[in-house]
Amino acid sequence: MDRRFGLEPGTLFRGLKKDPMDFEWSYWIEWGRERILWLLAGHLLVSQVSRLLVEKYKPWCLMVYGMAACWLLLGIKGFAVILFHAVISFAVAQFQLSLLTWMCSLILLSTLHIPAVEEAKRKWYDTENEYYLLLFTVSVRCLFCTSFSLEYCWHGPAQKSSHSFLWMLAYVFYYPMFHNGPLMNFDEFSRQMRRQEAFCLKTNLSILIVGIIRIFFWWCLAE
């Protein structure tokens, strides 16, 4: 059966097989090995260091890190596309009409399937894998832009201050959810970012170490 379906031995556990012909699995494993796994570990490090030194500015430190990671992986043009989507979504949200927000999101997503736009974006990268990473990332970021914009429409004037454009960027460029989720609505994200806890060096160091081990363990398990 292994020969018939091209299965290979698993990396972490004996007896388990992996299918190297599975495009999605192979695609993310390859990207993880090259950069994403290390960028996730870097995010965890920045999160703990910013909490230690400048807890008040932790959301903005993580926002800058997410932007830098986006720039590194997708290039300045890919970064500009995601930033452009965020700007357009935020501008449309100012009308506070849910239907308009949905229409805007669908239009932005539809641009991914315009042949001329597709061809132009392909020329930005040397490989198809890089181009597909842009497509996957833009699609997921569009969902986050939609979530923020809808919550902006639904909330009253008193809550608008917590839905600034800066907070939208912190939400859209939050790296652990950047390429393929998981999805989290903006209100839940905001609550977690604003929550302040007593700092303990020993506890936070443990969180950092356990977090890095967990990232590498799950990646090895997936492989």
Is 41 inside any structural domain?
A: yes
Is 11 inside any structural domain?
A: no
Is 2 inside any structural domain?
A: no
What's the rounded mean pLDDT across residues 40-53? Answer: 87
Report whether pLDDT(200) > 80: no
Is 76 inside any structural domain?
A: yes
Report whether pLDDT(30) > 80: no
Please state the pTM of the whole predicted model. Answer: 0.81
Is 16 inside any structural domain?
A: no
Sequence-distant (6+) residues with CB within 8 A of 7 are: 1, 17, 18, 19
CA distances 107 to 46, 78, 97, 180, 206, Å, are 35, 18, 16, 20, 45
* The pLDDT of residue 121: 93
Paired tokens of 141: 């970021």
Amino acid residing at 157: P
Could you list the residue range(s) of the whole structural domain that residue 200 is in?
Answer: 23-222
* The pLDDT of residue 145: 95
Mean pLDDT score of the chain: 81
**How many structural domains does the chain have?**
1
Helix (H) / strand (E) element for 17: namely: strand 17-18
pLDDT in tens, 148-175: 999 999 887 766 667 899 999 999 999 9
From 114, 34, 94, select the one nearest 69 (Cα to Cα).
34
What's the rounded mean pLDDT across residues 172-180? Answer: 90
Is 37 inside any structural domain?
A: yes
| Residue showing tokens 């597909």 | 132
* Residue 20 pLDDT class (50, 70, 90 cuts): low
Is 214 inside any structural domain?
A: yes
Is 29 inside any structural domain?
A: yes
